[in-house]
Structure formats: structure tokens, C-alpha cells
A and B are shown apart, each in its own frame.
Chain A
Amino acid sequence: MSATLTQIDIDWTDFEGAGRQTRQYLRDLAADKSRLREMVLAVQDDPKLLGMCERRQLFDCIVLHDAESGSRLEVHVSTGQRVDHPHDHCFSFSSFILCGGYDHTWYKPARPRDEQDGDGATPEHGAQLRSDEGEPATQQADLVPYVTRFEQPGSCYSIHHSVIHATATADDTVSLFLRGPQEKDATTMQDSADGTPQRENKPMSVDYYRDLCAKLGHLEII
């Protein structure tokens, strides 16, 4: 049986160490279907967790565990909206793909050629993402794709909160998601060219949650 999250001391300020720990945790949980089923079905008896479950634009989110330390374990189920815009997160996280998958691209802000050295080097990242006022400073047009891959069932990775990335999701994609505590007040990416927020998270009803559980059963995830 997998260890519970409360049994694991995760120091997310050490991205390498936290990533190593959390990927191992997710791999173990993915391999323990009965444990995962138990955790998913237990949510209906936990008003706090049920209240944290959300219907998001790209995926529905069932919260399996919410640790005092800020770590949170979730199951994400794709909604049918496939393409997400480049974005970053306020927290670092690890993910394990259970079924389906998505094209996953890491972006970096484009820089004028004269800011690069003779090796075509990568400019420093963090300081250029945020304006002095702390307002979102990067728009999609400024971005260059650096790495693209298809995250397939079994894919497992960790991402630092500074990373700007985007996904294009296949139908019936389900993933395990283990995030750390919030590490910044706001993300640095604008959601759209005119700055209009595109993300609207809705609470999840008990009936919707039960339908999701049935879907996870149908997909043989639990």
C-alpha cells in the first residue's frame, strides 16, 4: 500500500528533492489501484475535500488530500476542451499520466538576438518574467517553444512554478497531480492578448463528482 501524504515530509524549496519524492509517490499510487479507488471514493465523506473539488475549463479536479504543509494530491479528468494557452503556476508540482495524454510544450520568452552571447545562450529567466510592478509581463506572442513532447500513459514529470507551458489534451485523459504550496502571489502569464482572464473554476456538485467516479471506473482507473 502506498504511504499517505502525511507520512512524507516534502521540502518544495528543494525542487530536485521534492520532485524525486513526489514522482515516486505518484508512481507507487498509480500502481496501487485499490488504494487510489479508496482515496477517490473517500472524498464524498469528507466535506472539506468535496468542497475543494472543482470543474475547471481544461479538466475536472478531485482533491484527494490537502496537507497542512500546502501539498495537495488531485486527480485531473479532461473535460473535452483540448487546447490550453501558455501559462505558469503559483506552485511547483509533479504529475503522472494514467490514461489518454497530451502534447506538452515548454516555452521561454523570446529575447532579441543582441541579448544573447556568441553561443546563442539562454538569457536569465526569472527576472525577465515579471515587471517591476509585479504585474503580468509576458504575452503569448513573446514566447518561443523550447521542448515539445507527448505525455503518454506512464509519463511522470516535475515542473517548477517558474515554467511557462501549455498542453493540448486528448479525450479521456486522467492524471495524478501532486502540487506544493503556493510560492508566488500571481502567475506571470496573461491569459489572453487583451488580458482577459480565461479561467473560471466552478464548484463541483456531489452528483457531478459521482458521475466522475463512474467515469473513472469505466476508464478502469479505479
Chain B
Amino acid sequence: MKAKTDSAAAAYFAGVPDLNWDDVSTVHAVSAPILADIARNRALMRELVLGAHDHPALWPKCEEGVVEDKIVLWDEPDRGFRLRLRMATASQEEMPHQHRFSFSNYVLRGEFIHRNYEVLGAFGEGTKPDDVGSVIVHEDIAGHCFTINHAAVHSTPLPGLGTINLVLRGPAVRDRAPVIFAASRGGSNTHGPAPTLEEPESAERGHIFYRVGEKDESAERRAERRMTDETYATWVARLEEYGLI
């Protein structure tokens, strides 16, 4: 699953310890320095970004989303990690959500408000927006890194194009993870409260959708989400312009 073994990236990751995501405070002590290390190693970042496009396992995982894109840079599931870029393409709504996995997030560029929530009742299909209340609000800026348990309900609405995060994630521990719109997303054909299995381009406040893994997506859906060569080239140019690669 990893990139070619004679690369500087392969040498770097060979020196990275296997990660156990059972305790986020323990793994953070290891994962945060790794992310900071990669972030300040521009040559390594460049090799990883340029290597993703032609890699048979990584390239199919690179995606274009409704409000953000991702480029998968490295994947060693047997050792407990996958590295990717999370890149905003639009201003994002506040959307409290869980993840299918625990992960560490390093802010490469830009800033955003990071909220952690308490939830009345179980978080999922029956949750209403007023059941979800913020209890920690953090101003995350470039250079900040957090590690979060998959069960935590949080939101990180990126303010728009130019906010870039480096994400190191652990293995999936559930098949789908709920997301609720705390604010509506404009547009026509607005989705009401009935849950969907895809992120809608427009939705009412309170709409819930589920994020699922690649294995649970249809071939048609995968094809829709896959990053195009044109989008990839645009991102490479932007990342160069931002001084990240």
C-alpha cells in the first residue's frame, strides 16, 4: 500500500513507530511530533504530494468533496496509520460529527474554530441541532495539532480555500459516522431531516448524513468522488504557491 520503497518518504516512514490509537493522549505524544516533522520538511512533503498521483493504491483514494478535497499521501494500515491532506474548497458550515477513526490533525495553513460538543442522548439519527451544545471552543491556527478519539463529537468548519490540514488517522472502528448540520447549507433541492448516506450540496439545519468508508461506496459514487487530473494539478500549483511543497 505504501509508495516505492527507495524513496525518502519510505525511509522516513520506516523510522516511524507503529501507532496504537486506543488512547489519544498516548498516541498524541508520538503522532504530533511526526506531523510537525513532516510539515516542516518541505522536500518530503513535495515527494509525498507528487508521488500520490501515480501510486496505484493512493491515487484512487484521492477525492473531491462538496466543500473540501483530499490527497492521500501514505497508507500503512497494518501499522496503524494513513496520512492525507485535508484542503478546504469553500466556506464550511458548523457540522457536529463523529469519525469512523481516531486521528491527529496538524494545521498547515489558515485557521478555524474547533468546537467539541456534549450531546443529549446518543449521537445519531435521532439527534436534533438543539441536542448538541459546544463545551470547548478552540481557535486552531497554523502549527496547532490535536488528536481526537473517534467517539468525540466535534466540528472544524474551515473558513474557505487556503486552509490546509495534515491528517494522520488510525484504523476505522465503525462503518459509518454521523454528521449533523447545525446551520443550513444553501441551494436548491434542500434536504430535509431524513438522513442521507452522502454529503448533500444543500441541506436544512438539522439534516443528518453519514460518512462511510470506501468499501461501502458504490462504484458510481467512487467514480464521482475521485480527484481529476486537472484538480490535482491545481492543488499542486496551490501548495507550491503556499510554500508547503
Interface residues of A (CB under 8 A from B): 15-16, 19-20, 23, 103, 105-106, 108, 116-126, 144-150, 152, 154-160, 162-163
A-B contact count (CB 8 A): 124
When A119-B178, A125-B118 are in contact, do A148 and B137 touch as well, CB less than 8 Å? no
The 11 sampled A-B contact pairs (Cβ below 8 Å) are A105-B24, A106-B152, A117-B122, A118-B124, A119-B123, A119-B174, A121-B98, A122-B152, A144-B149, A148-B25, A160-B118
Measured between beta carbons, the chain A residues less than 8 angstroms from B151 are 108, 116, 120-122, 144, 146
Q: Among residues 123 to 174 in chain B, which have CB atoms less than 8 Å away from a CB atom of chain A? A: 123-124, 133-139, 141, 143-154, 173-174
Residue of A nearest to B138 (CB): A157
When A15-B135, A147-B152 are in contact, do A120 and B174 touch as well, CB less than 8 Å? yes
In the bound assembly, the distance between CA atoms of A126 and B98 in angstroms comes to 19
In the bound assembly, the distance between CA atoms of A16 and B135 in angstroms comes to 9
Is B82's beta carbon under 8 Å from chain A?
A: no
Task: State whether B124 touches A149 (Cβ < 8 A).
Answer: no
Measured between beta carbons, the chain B residues less than 8 angstroms from A154 are 141
When A145-B24, A155-B144 are in contact, do A119 and B152 touch as well, CB less than 8 Å? no
Least Cβ–Cβ distance between A139 and chain B, in angstroms: 17
Least Cβ–Cβ distance between A147 and chain B, in angstroms: 5
Interface residues of B (CB under 8 A from A): 23-25, 28-29, 32, 98, 116, 118-124, 133-139, 141, 143-154, 173-174, 176-178
Measured between beta carbons, the chain B residues less than 8 angstroms from A108 are 151-152
Measured between beta carbons, the chain B residues less than 8 angstroms from A158 are 136-138
In the bound assembly, the distance between CA atoms of A90 and B164 in angstroms comes to 37
Measured between beta carbons, the chain B residues less than 8 angstroms from A120 are 98, 150-151, 173-174
Measured between beta carbons, the chain A residues less than 8 angstroms from B98 are 119-122
Task: State whether A106 touches B116 (Cβ < 8 A).
Answer: yes
Measured between beta carbons, the chain B residues less than 8 angstroms from A16 are 134, 137
When A117-B122, A121-B98, A121-B124 are in contact, do A145 and B139 touch as well, CB less than 8 Å? no
Residue of A nearest to B100 (CB): A120
Least Cβ–Cβ distance between B60 and chain A, in angstroms: 27
Task: State whether B120 touches A147 (Cβ < 8 A).
Answer: no
Residue of B nearest to A105 (CB): B25
Task: State whether A147 touches B122 (Cβ < 8 A).
Answer: no
Least Cβ–Cβ distance between B202 and chain A, in angstroms: 24
* Selected contact of B145 from candidates A149, A156, A163, CB within 8 Å: A149
Measured between beta carbons, the chain A residues less than 8 angstroms from B173 are 120
Residue of A nearest to B145 (CB): A149
